[in-house]
Amino acid sequence: MSQKQGEMVQGTLEMLILKTLALEPMHGYGVALRIEQVSAGVFRVNPGSLLPALARMERAGSVKSEWRSTENNRRAKYYMLTAVGRKALTDETAAWGRQTAAIARILEA
Amino acid sequence: MAWLRNLTRGFSALFSPERVEHEMDEELRGFLEASAEAKRRAGMTAEDAARAARVEMGSQNAVKHHIRSAVWETVVENLWQDLRYSVRMLAKSPAFTLVAVLSLALGIGANTAIFSLMDVVLLRSLPVDEPGQLVLFGDGRAGGSTDNLPNQSWRLFSYPFYRSFSQKNEVFSGVTAIKSIEFSTHGSVAGAGREMMRASLVSGTYFSVLGVNAGRGRMLTEADDQTPGSGTVAVASYSWWQRHGNDPAAVGKTVAIEGTDYTIVGVAPKGFFGFVVGESPDFWIPLSMEKEISPGWNGLEKKWFQSLYLVARLKPGVTAAQASANTNLLFKQYIRSEYLGQSPSQKDLADVEHAHIDLTSAARGLSRLRRQFILPLEILTTISGLVLLIACANLASLLLARGAVRSREFAMRMAIGATRSRIVRQLLTESCMIALLGAALGVASAWKASHLLLTMASHSAEVAAMDVSPDLRVLGFTLILTVFTALLFGMAPAIRATRLDLNGSLKQSRTAAAPSSRFSLARGLIVVQIALSLVLLAAASLFLRSLVNLANVDTGFNKQNVLVFQLDEYSANLPLDARLVNLEQRIEQRVQSVPGVQAASFSMFSFDQGEWSDPVTVQGIPQTPENSHDVLYNVVGNGFFSTMSLPIVAGRGFDSRDKIDSPQVAIINQTMAHKFFPDSSPIGHHFGIGSDPAGSGSIEIVGVVKNAKYVTLEESPEAAAYFPYAQRVQYFGNFEVRYAGDAHQIIPAVRDAILQVNPDVPVSAVETLAEQVDASTSNQRIVARLSGFFSVLATFLVCIGIYGLLSYAVARRTSEIGVRMALGARRSNVLWLILREILVLVAIGIAIGVPLALAGNRLAAKLLFGLSPADPVSLCAAIALMFAIATLAGYLPARKASLVEPTVALRCE
């Protein structure tokens, strides 16, 4: 039910997921929750876009998954970063930094 | 390696759909629980938390759909589902499926068959090395020999020119010479029985220039073609070798052809039939042996004996312009120095000025069939294209009606979450499936049909032997055609069918259906079909009438009860003198004594067998442009005119007075008599062959014979002259016999009689004169037959379309009809109400079709005889037929509507 503030820049969702998973392996809801908390509620990711993104990234090899038990002893699918994913994160972060810096310069000019 | 992982994971998912589904469910459930858990911890009640989590997620099915669409295998999965669903839907309505598949099979099959003919006759390249580098000198539109000095583009060349040119030219890597006609000879292999052998005479460079490597043994080389009479070797064709049981010892065997022994040095590779499309020689023999193969062709050292095609291979990097410049330079030098003497005449100088060589591409070989068939093939392509269009329009209207019937099904599927694009895709899958089934059936029948077409089109066995089975190119063409067809007929109905008002459709009320745009699209399609089939009907009636005109042409001779035997006198090994004449006379006499034979004669030509033509100079009559046209000549036996039933109208026929040492005589036809002697009798006058006045006294006219057709039925009256063979000794290939009674008994008796006189004169084939005459119009006949066949079928399709449309309309309007009848409308009013609808469509269709037909028929003008393309009778016949058939197709549903019981109709609401 995210409002206007939740609109994400095209293509940034995968970068955010990569960054979140870089800390530790997490299940789907954990990723959504972490993104919402860290962004202080600005980004709310609904499962309709999060889970397809994870499926896509898994197919591309930047994350892998395994079934584990949660803290409440339930089975859940945990996602973790691969070497490919780590490299993708570095690259995308660098590219993002360059782009935002450039945009900022333009806006301040 | 990412793509590999993607691929393997995708496949493993494809093959275990339950596991994938289960994991997805479990992950979603886990997500929901975790979400609810978090909300509970934030202070909600367990019930509220669970509901809030579900609300946040939305439709689980939608989420799953999104996850699925992130991976490729889903596309395959959907396709598979669509296919299974389509098969079920098609199996559920077998009548619809049958009509749809059959009409497409007809359309696609006809197009495939005609395209594969086109491919063989017009498009396919020679199976040689780099065919694009090959050029032919001239356009190949001539055959035989000439001693003219043409003042235009040259087509035939002499052997001395070939020799000189191939030494001097700088632009070709090789030049080869090919005798412009194929020889039908007789010979035997290693002492076995005599058989017919078609021989092509070629220069030693033939195989190396074409770039054809030996299938077995070796091909001809330059060494085989050095001095006249020295190259007693032959290369067998693959098909000849195949007919002789793929004999592994064939190479090295001796074949005796017309009294000379040749050693078979090799077998050509499979698929190589020679340079001329439609001819397939059994042997290639060096040009050095031309005199031995046929004594009339003794021109190796004569620069005026021009009888060869020249084919050359361009050096790499040489442009067509450079090649043409160099070729023509050498050509002019050659004819100036060799053909013109010290003091050339003004005419010769002018002729040389205009003489040149056009280099034409020889990549596809030389195809006389191309010229013969290009117009019929164009017409047939148009016709079969129209049939396919009609089939498509027909199918589109069937699908529209089906879409209307299935609207509830679509509404239901969309209501439970199917997207419109998904339904359109599924409908298109159904269309593609129908199209593919139709194509499969069509290609299967095209396989047979194109062969049948070829046999119908040509009565020569070698043409019919051409390989027209569809190859990969043809199949590719069909595939493209099929997909195009499926989109053409499937797209509009699919889009229409899914443009739904969900609520209205689900309620499905028959009364609610307003005259929708779907219905007007269906009407439009009917109009298109009517217009197109009118074009076909008009063309067909035009071709049929033209054929009737041809059949009614007066040939002059009586074509009934005449047999034409093809034989080979040269095999008897007699010289060209009185001994040969004696043999011929003995054969004629012996055959005439066969019971049932009324007359028999040798002749150079019977009908449509080529021509010998030259201008004529009549003694005492000055040459004018009107009388210097060519005259057709024939050499015949004394019994020729009675055999052909051509009456002598003045003077006498040939008889025993005309001997080799008596004065030369001729019999001329009425046209020639009228041309030169409009007011007096030509008997006793003299003429000579050629335009030289010096020879004008050499031949005396002793008789005048009735006019006849000589080369084609369409020809206007031609001047002709006949000579007795006793004075022009030659080997004949034609022997005509007029008979009474049963031809099946006459034929073996005549064969026996010839065999008794001389066992060395083989008779190869027999046909009737009527068959020869019919064969000359085979193009017209095949076009008439096929256009008739197709137009009847197209009209039948239109009937199905009209019937379907009206039945649907009647079903929709049942209650309206009930109300009308309850209010006092009579049955005839109702009948007219429905019928009027279709008559309007027919009228519009005809109004569109008539100008189309007139425009289309102009394409066919050249193939028509005695008719204008705008022939009103044909057009009116087509319109009347169309009107009658369409009314009939509309009458049945209209009658059904008029029989509606008002009480029943009203109660069913």
The residues of A whose Cβ lies within 8 A of any Cβ of B are 1, 27-30, 33, 46-49, 51-53, 55-56, 59-61, 70, 72, 74-77, 84
* Residue A35 covered by a domain: yes
Torsion of CA B900, B906, B908, B909, to 10 degrees: 140
* Residue A91 covered by a domain: yes
Q: One-letter amino acid identity for B212? A: V
Interface mutation vs chain A, best among B24, B31, B39, B73, most A CBs within 10 Å: B31
To the nearest whole Å, the CA of B77 is away from the closest chain A CA by 17
* Structural domain containing residue A60: 4-104
SS3 B691: coil
Radius of gyration of chain A measured on its C-alpha atoms: 15
Residue B798 contacts residue B889 (beta carbons within 8 Å): yes
Instruction: Mark yes or no for CB contact B67/A1 under 8 Å.
Output: no
Total structural domains within chain A: 1
Buried b (16+ CB within 10 A) or exposed e, B539-553: bbbbbbbbbebbeeb
To the nearest whole Å, the CA of B46 is away from the closest chain A CA by 16
At A1 the pLDDT is 38
From chain A, pick out residues whose CB is under 8 angstroms from the CB of B37.
Answer: 72
Answer whether residue A86 shows pLDDT above 50: yes
Answer whether residue B513 shows pLDDT above 70: no
Instruction: Mark yes or no for CB contact A52/B33 under 8 Å.
Output: no
Phi/psi of residue A91, nearest 5 degrees? -60, -50
State the average pLDDT over residues B300-326.
89
| Residue B599 pLDDT level (bands cut at 50, 70, 90) | very high
- Cα gap B187→B179, rounded to integer Å: 20
| Residue A2 pLDDT level (bands cut at 50, 70, 90) | very low
Establish if B33 touches chain A: CB-CB under 8 angstroms: yes
What is the per-residue DSSP string for A35-96?
A: HHHHTTTS----HHHHHHHHHHHHHHTSEEEEEEE-TTS-EEEEEEE-HHHHHHHHHHHHHH
Answer whether residue B514 shows pLDDT above 50: no
Could you tell me what percent of chain B has a pLDDT over 90?
A: 25
Instruction: Mark yes or no for CB contact B31/A30 under 8 Å.
Output: no
- Cα gap B300→B636, rounded to integer Å: 29
Answer whether residue A16 shows pLDDT above 80: yes
At B757 the pLDDT is 92
Reduced 3-state DSSP string for B503-523: HHHHHCCCCCCCCCHHHHHHH
To the nearest whole Å, the CA of B31 is away from the closest chain A CA by 5
Establish if B744 touches chain A: CB-CB under 8 angstroms: no
Find the residue in A nearest to B26 (Cα).
Answer: A76
Answer whether residue B372 shows pLDDT above 80: no
More confident residue, B847 or B277: B847
Residue B649 contacts residue B656 (beta carbons within 8 Å): no
B897: nearest Cα among B794, B785, B816, B777: B816
| Residue B292 pLDDT level (bands cut at 50, 70, 90) | confident
At A45 the pLDDT is 85
At B500 the pLDDT is 64
pLDDT in tens, B180-236: 888 888 888 887 777 888 899 999 999 999 999 988 899 999 889 888 888 899 999
Phi/psi of residue A2, nearest 5 degrees? -65, 145
State the average pLDDT over residues B90-104.
84
Q: One-letter amino acid identity for B304? A: W
State the average pLDDT over residues B407-415.
80
The residues, ordered by sequence, that sit 6+ positions from B178 with a Cβ below 8 Å of its Cβ are: B200, B201, B202, B203, B206, B275, B276, B308, B309, B310, B311
Instruction: Mark yes or no for CB contact B27/A76 under 8 Å.
Output: yes
Answer whether residue B515 shows pLDDT above 70: no
From chain B, pick out residues whose CB is under 8 angstroms from the CB of A53.
Answer: 70
To the nearest whole Å, the CA of B2 is away from the closest chain A CA by 6
State the average pLDDT over residues B544-568.
91
At A70 the pLDDT is 77
pLDDT in tens, B640-698: 999 999 999 999 999 999 988 899 999 999 999 999 998 889 999 999 988 777 888 88
pLDDT in tens, B474-490: 888 888 888 888 887 88
Mean pLDDT lowest among A91-105, B344-358, B604-618, B737-751: B344-358
- Maximal C-alpha separation, chain A: 55
Q: One-letter amino acid identity for B238? A: Y
Residue B328 contacts residue B356 (beta carbons within 8 Å): yes
Instruction: Mark yes or no for CB contact A76/B30 under 8 Å.
Output: yes
What tokens appear for B582 in the block? 């004696």
Instruction: Mark yes or no for CB contact B26/A60 under 8 Å.
Output: no
At B457 the pLDDT is 63
To the nearest whole Å, the CA of B80 is away from the closest chain A CA by 22
Distance of CA B179 to the CA centre of its chain: 26
Residue B101 contacts residue B441 (beta carbons within 8 Å): yes
Chain-wide mean pLDDT for chain B? 85
Interface mutation vs chain A, best among B7, B66, B72, B75, most A CBs within 10 Å: B66
The residues, ordered by sequence, that sit 6+ positions from A37 with a Cβ below 8 Å of its Cβ are: none
Phi/psi of residue B499, nearest 5 degrees? -85, 85
Radius of gyration of chain B measured on its C-alpha atoms: 38
At A10 the pLDDT is 62
Distance of CA B555 to the CA centre of its chain: 28
Residue B97 contacts residue B431 (beta carbons within 8 Å): no
Instruction: Mark yes or no for CB contact A47/B26 under 8 Å.
Output: no
Which of B5, B31, B71 lies nearest to residue A28, judging by beta carbons?
B31
To the nearest whole Å, the CA of A97 is away from the closest chain B CA by 27
User: On the CB side of B14, how many CA atoms lie within 13 Å of its CA?
Assistant: 17
Instruction: Mark yes or no for CB contact A77/B57 under 8 Å.
Output: no
- Maximal C-alpha separation, chain B: 136
From chain A, pick out residues whose CB is under 8 angstroms from the CB of B63.
Answer: 47-48, 51
State the average pLDDT over residues B359-377.
80
- Cα gap B584→B572, rounded to integer Å: 11
Residue B887 contacts residue B838 (beta carbons within 8 Å): yes
Q: Is the dihedral of CA B277, B280, B286, B290 positive or negative?
A: negative
- Cα gap B203→B143, rounded to integer Å: 17
Which of B27, B63, B70 lies nearest to residue A77, judging by beta carbons?
B27
The residues, ordered by sequence, that sit 6+ positions from B342 with a Cβ below 8 Å of its Cβ are: none
| Conformational region of residue B728, where left means phi above 0, alpha means psi within -120 to 50, and beta covers everything else | beta
Q: One-letter amino acid identity for B125? A: S
Instruction: Mark yes or no for CB contact B28/A47 under 8 Å.
Output: yes
Interface mutation vs chain A, best among B4, B24, B27, most A CBs within 10 Å: B27
CATH number at residue A49: 1.10.10.10
Neighbours of B1 (CB within 10 A): 6
Instruction: Mark yes or no for CB contact A77/B38 under 8 Å.
Output: no
Establish if B7 touches chain A: CB-CB under 8 angstroms: no
Residue B138 contacts residue B471 (beta carbons within 8 Å): no
B720: nearest Cα among B604, B623, B622: B604
Instruction: Mark yes or no for CB contact B58/A76 under 8 Å.
Output: no
Neighbours of B452 (CB within 10 A): 15
At B206 the pLDDT is 93
State the average pLDDT over residues B557-566.
93
* Residue A51 covered by a domain: yes
